[in-house]
Structure 1
Amino acid sequence: MGYPQYPPHHPGDVEALIRAYPLAWVIPTADPFTATPLPLLPEMAGTELDALFGHLSRRNPMLAVLADDPTVTILFQGPQGYISPRLVGDPTWGPTWNYAVIRVRARIEMVPDELDDALSTLATAVEADHREPWEPSEMGERYDLLRRYITAFRAHVDAVHSTFKLGQDENDHDFRAIVSGMDDPELAAWMERMRGDVRRR
């Protein structure tokens, strides 16, 4: 589900954004000031986001808050950046900010028995681009020591709202000028991904 003016272009865009930018703010409904940034991995039901899998410290005060009320808002921030009229070459062109964000409403379930899976799955995901990916087993005895202080959880998704405001409504000339002139390759790549067949003539 997304806002009508800037929806995902492809059914896999929400999953792709979360995998590319997994660090999210987890914000408890009962006490937003215990909000914590945590890396989360998507669990899909077909093309729909079904749950988010992660772990947190047992010393985190958010844990006690979630025991009383497990409802949370989860915010993912993808690529973002200021778009100057200088990129377009027209000082009368209105500047803007391009960005991709995902908002999730969910219910947290603690799954301590899945902690090893949570840690290994996250390590596999974030080490995927490394020539020699690190694995938790390399920690040796220290792994068992440190795992005592964390627990795994699954955030069951109730609703997803995404906004991919990435230049879809720019005309061809302005869009190409922006992409070719900007110095943020990640933002440029997501702009190209979202371009699709949307054009403003």
Structure 2
Amino acid sequence: MRQNPSFAMTDPAELRRVIAASPWAMIVSDADEGLVASHYVVLLDDDADDLTVVGHVGRPDDLIHGLGERELLIVFQGPHGYVSPGWYGDVAAVPTWNYVAVHLSGVPEILSDDENLRVLERMVDVFESGMAHPRGMWELPNDDAFVRRLAAGTVGFRLRPTKVVAKRKLSQNKPDDAVQTVIAELTAAGNNALAEEMRRARDARRSASA
């Protein structure tokens, strides 16, 4: 991802927020047969306070990616959406796409079977917490043998990134009144998540210049 200093995200707390809110990630590696991409849930490691993440892939994706042997790129895509040039008023403008993205790169370590089980259990708990009647991984009718058999079909990993590139392209190069108009238009269109990201970026810019 080409970086632009005006759009760079560098605050670790903000990066963690985006990763936590966008766990459906794309995992990319340069495999023997060429570039390969897979899509999996990836979470922040709850035993770390940095950008370390944990996840899993299903077999044989571990072999395809050379998991633990090759560098991986993990892409977290935050809120995004189309911005019409008409929203900037009667000025020369072109269409664009506003977005937030975080890229983490590095060679992951393979988790032990017990660590992988803990990560899988946490993933289930994270997403079941929003259900009306949460059902944990170990709850009946699942039994120990069933859970462990399914877990054996996955390979867990932990990635401590050696390279981080994060970007929020949110009309920061436009005057405040134009930014406010875009926020209003996105809100009216129902893209509240992107509108909120633009508010955060606007407020951060104001604080930095104060």
> Would you say same fold, with TM above 0.5?
yes
Cα distance change of structure 1 residues 67 and 122 upon mapping to structure 2, 3 Å threshold = closer
Given candidates 157, 178, 181, the residue that maps to 2:182 is 178
Deviation at 1:43, TM superposition (A): 2.8
2:155 counterpart of 1:151 = yes
Deviations, residues 18-64 of structure 1 (Å, cap 9, x unaligned): 11111222112334533211111123754x31x2101111232x425
| Alignment size in residue pairs | 196
Percent sequence identity is 27
Cα distance change of structure 1 residues 89 and 122 upon mapping to structure 2, 3 Å threshold = same
The letter for the 1-side match of 2:185 is G
**Aligned-partner Cα distance in 2 for 1:197–1:78:** 17
Given candidates 142, 145, 150, the residue that maps to 1:140 is 142
Cα distance change of structure 1 residues 130 and 195 upon mapping to structure 2, 3 Å threshold = farther
Q: Identify which range, 132-141 or 169-178, moves more after superposition.
A: 132-141
The letter for the 2-side match of 1:166 is L
Deviation at 1:65, TM superposition (A): 4.2
Q: Mind listing any 5+ residue stretches in structure 2 that lack a counterpart? A: none
Answer yes or no: is the 8 Å Cα contact 2:99–2:168 preserved in 1.
Answer: yes
2:202 counterpart of 1:195 = yes
Answer yes or no: is the 8 Å Cα contact 2:80–2:194 preserved in 1.
Answer: yes
Answer yes or no: is the 8 Å Cα contact 1:54–1:153 preserved in 2.
Answer: yes
Q: Identify which range, 190-199 or 13-22, moves more after superposition.
A: 190-199
Deviation at 1:134, TM superposition (A): 2.9
Cα distance change of structure 1 residues 180 and 161 upon mapping to structure 2, 3 Å threshold = same
Q: Identify which range, 106-115 or 23-32, moves more after superposition.
A: 23-32
Tell me the residue number matched to 2:120.
119
Answer yes or no: is the 8 Å Cα contact 1:55–1:151 preserved in 2.
Answer: yes
Cα distance change of structure 1 residues 130 and 194 upon mapping to structure 2, 3 Å threshold = farther
TM-score, L = length of structure 1: 0.84
**Aligned-partner Cα distance in 2 for 1:28–1:159:** 14
Cα distance change of structure 1 residues 195 and 127 upon mapping to structure 2, 3 Å threshold = farther
Q: Mind listing any 5+ residue stretches in structure 1 that lack a counterpart? A: none
**Aligned-partner Cα distance in 2 for 1:125–1:193:** 25
**Aligned-partner Cα distance in 2 for 1:67–1:176:** 44
Equivalent residues in 2 for 1:55-70 (5 A)?
55-60=56-61, 62-66=62-66, 69-70=69-70
Cα distance change of structure 1 residues 93 and 64 upon mapping to structure 2, 3 Å threshold = closer
Answer yes or no: is the 8 Å Cα contact 1:3–1:162 preserved in 2.
Answer: no
**Aligned-partner Cα distance in 1 for 2:202–2:64:** 44
Deviations, residues 38-93 of structure 1 (Å, cap 9, x unaligned): 111123754x31x2101111232x42541583311111211111100233343633
Cα distance change of structure 1 residues 98 and 56 upon mapping to structure 2, 3 Å threshold = same
Structure 1 or 2: more strand by fraction:
1
Cα distance change of structure 1 residues 173 and 133 upon mapping to structure 2, 3 Å threshold = same
